[in-house]
């Protein structure tokens, strides 16, 4: 079984133009993500899939592997789909290109279920929410699970709603009741290629969350709970903070 990690990376960013090449302590962010992914024990290969020659040249200059993909892709999944279609592999891991400190153990945690269960097509990660401000932050995606650890729904809103009435009264309830989704996805290659051909559903359009397309098409997503949160760089403020992290 061959497992590859693909890091989708595009140059254009509304909030932080040229984000992948932004320097964090002297090294481009996309290179830091690539080097962290290489530390995974389960990935056989890591590549960057990008729409920009500057990113490709940057990754290659550090000894990494980068390939050019279409500039017309609207999502990271579409980009990794193009890249993975040309590579002989069984499992594809979508690794976010704006998480310079991604924990390689988190990658392995997410991959393991697809190795153990040949019928499973998709897995991802979540972490318990400890900061109450995350509950109302639409950029922090929440996920609710069934009793077996499969996703029931993803939302930018605070879910489940009824607990929102007690969160102010019960200290620490957020640690056990709410989960934040971490946007790392593991796909069986065959399903990934099929997923990218599916039409967007109403829920995906409403929430602007492409993982809802999977649920709308009656496919399960296994959610692995980790205690190691992720830090994504989306703004200049985030970049400044990243440069202060040891």
Q: What whole-number distance in Å separates Cα of residue 133 and Cα of residue 208?
A: 21
Tell how strand 23-24 and strand 27-28 pair up.
antiparallel
The most confident of 159-168, 178-187, 227-236, by mean pLDDT: 178-187
pLDDT tens, position by position, 31-80: 999 999 999 999 999 999 999 999 999 999 999 999 999 888 888 899 99
- In 3D space, the residue among 232, 195, 190, 197 whose CA is nearest the CA of residue 212 turns out to be 195
> pTM for this one?
0.92
Six token digits for residue 77? 């999944």
- Mean pLDDT of all residues in the chain? 92
Looking at the predicted structure, is the pLDDT value of residue 174 above 60?
no
* Residue 144, Cβ density class (10 Å: 0-12 exposed, 13-18 middle, ≥19 buried): middle
């Amino acid at each position: 079984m061959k497992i590859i990690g693909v890091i989708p990376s595009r140059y254009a960013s509304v909030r932080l133009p040229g984000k992948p090449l932004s320097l964090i302590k002297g090294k481009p962010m996309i290179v830091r993500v690539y080097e962290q992914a290489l530390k995974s024990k389960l990935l056989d290969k890591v590549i960057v899939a990008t729409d920009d020659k500057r990113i490709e040249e940057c990754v290659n200059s550090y000894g990494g592997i980068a390939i050019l993909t279409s500039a017309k892709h609207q999502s990271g999944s579409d980009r990794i789909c193009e890249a993975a279609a040309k590579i002989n592999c069984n499992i594809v891991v979508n690794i976010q290109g704006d998480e310079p400190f991604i924990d390689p153990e988190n990658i392995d945690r997410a991959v393991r279920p697809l190795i153990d269960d040949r019928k499973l097509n998709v897995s991802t990660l979540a972490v318990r929410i400890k900061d109450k401000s995350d509950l109302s932050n639409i950029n922090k995606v929440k996920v609710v699970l069934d009793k077996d650890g499969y996703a029931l729904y993803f939302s930018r809103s605070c879910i489940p709603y009824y607990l929102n009435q007690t969160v102010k009264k019960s200290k620490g309830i957020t640690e056990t009741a709410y989960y934040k989704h971490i946007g790392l996805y593991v796909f069986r290659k065959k399903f990934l290629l099929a997923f990218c051909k599916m039409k967007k559903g109403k829920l995906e359009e409403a929430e602007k969350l492409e993982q809802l397309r999977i649920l709308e098409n009656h496919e399960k997503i296994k959610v692995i709970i980790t205690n190691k949160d992720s830090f994504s760089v989306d703004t200049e403020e985030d970049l400044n903070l990243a440069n202060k992290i040891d």
